[in-house]
């Protein structure tokens, strides 16, 4: 390999690295929002987040709005897609803090990963395979299939203290001052607003997520 060829390859590598870095830098930062609506101006919501920060949420024209309603363990049926926030126990087991039952047909990012509801909390998104009685309550086996990885399972104990919720279709008109909302993933726009494609609000119970 000549010195000129080596130089050209090195220069190409630098250009490629700069291109990747620039592309990553251009990707908008995403924000998870838990808070209370303070003001509504058309599709623009002013929200006070749980850490007392004021945020501006811009609802997309076709934004999906869902109301969070009470549910029970009887609604957590085999085959249901759920998201379960859990806390690891001293013996290595998982205890459910809350369960939200996804609407039928919703595309769910199946996985098991750290969650920010509280320190050390975890989230498991997957399909309920079995539900059996356990010493402390009910034991759910949840199977999840991450992208490009084999399916895996987690066993999670549901107690009488576990909050269980479901979703019902809602409209933008229901997003009024005083309601508590949850947005899982909102890209931050250049003007500082957060673009919202899907938002949930506490219709019967506050969002527990």
pTM reported for the whole predicted model? 0.83
Question: Helix, strand, or coil here: 165?
Answer: strand
Residue 181 has what DSSP assignment?
A: E
Count Cα atoms within 13 angstroms, Cβ side, for 37: 28
Report the 10 Å Cβ neighbour count for 151. 11
**Whole-angstrom Cα distance, residue 196 to residue 2?**
53
Cα–Cα distance list, 156 to 62, 132, 162 (Å): 35, 11, 11
Taking alpha carbons only, the member of 148, 155, 110, 149 closest to residue 132 is: 155
pLDDT score at 13: 43
pLDDT score at 11: 43
pLDDT score at 107: 87
Contact present, 3 and 17 (Cβ < 8 Å): no
Query: What is the chain's pLDDT, residue by residue, as a tens digit (209 residues)?
Result: 555 445 544 444 444 444 434 433 456 799 999 999 999 999 999 999 999 999 999 999 999 999 999 999 999 999 999 999 999 999 999 999 999 999 988 889 999 999 999 999 999 999 999 999 887 789 999 999 998 899 999 999 999 999 999 999 999 999 999 999 999 999 999 999 999 999 999 999 999 88
Cα–Cα distance list, 96 to 13, 164, 171, 178, 203 (Å): 48, 10, 30, 28, 22
């Amino acid at each position: 390999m000549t010195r000129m060829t080596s130089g050209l390859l090195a220069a190409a590598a630098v250009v490629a690295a700069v291109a990747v870095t620039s592309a990553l830098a251009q990707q908008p930062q995403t924000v998870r929002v838990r808070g209370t609506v303070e003001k509504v101006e058309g599709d623009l919501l002013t929200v006070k987040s749980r850490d007392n920060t004021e945020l501006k949420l811009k609802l997309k024209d076709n934004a999906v709005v869902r109301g969070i309603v009470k549910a029970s363990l009887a609604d957590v049926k085999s085959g249901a897609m759920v998201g379960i926030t859990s806390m690891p126990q001293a013996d290595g087991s998982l205890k459910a803090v809350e369960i939200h039952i996804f609407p039928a047909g919703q595309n769910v990012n199946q996985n098991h990963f750290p969650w920010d509801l509280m320190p050390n909390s975890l989230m498991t998104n997957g399909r309920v395979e079995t539900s059996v009685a356990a010493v402390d309550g009910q034991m759910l086996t949840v199977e999840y299939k991450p992208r490009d990885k084999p399916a895996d399972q987690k066993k999670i104990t549901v107690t009488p203290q576990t909050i269980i919720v479901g979703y019902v279709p809602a409209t933008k008109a229901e997003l009024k001052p005083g309601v508590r909302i949850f947005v899982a993933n909102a890209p931050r726009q250049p003007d500082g607003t957060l673009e919202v494609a899907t938002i949930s609000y506490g219709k019967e119970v506050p969002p527990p997520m």
